[in-house]
Amino acid sequence: MAEKITAVFDGKVFYPTEAMALPANTRVRLTIEILPPDKQESVSFIMSARSLKLSGPPNWAANIDKYKYL
């Protein structure tokens, strides 16, 4: 099965720009095609952070001093 995705390389790791329907630790083969500058999409920090699917308490921001030294 072949699927085309767009990803961002941070110097060490490729991050897909959209969610992938693959189980964790699935081995894949990548073929790299560098997009020309006019076709590149910028990725915001918020989009990157959301893609990490981090979880935490709902009051995290309100109690930052309590959590920042854990």
Interval 15-66: pLDDT, tens: 888 888 889 899 989 888 888 877 666 767 777 777 777 777 777 778 778 7
Distances (CA, A) of 48 to 18, 28, 57: 10, 21, 20
CA distance 48 to 4: 19
Q: What is the pLDDT of residue 40?
A: 64
Torsion, Cα 34 32 17 29, to 10 degrees, reads 180
Q: What is the pLDDT of residue 27?
A: 93
What's the pTM? Answer: 0.46
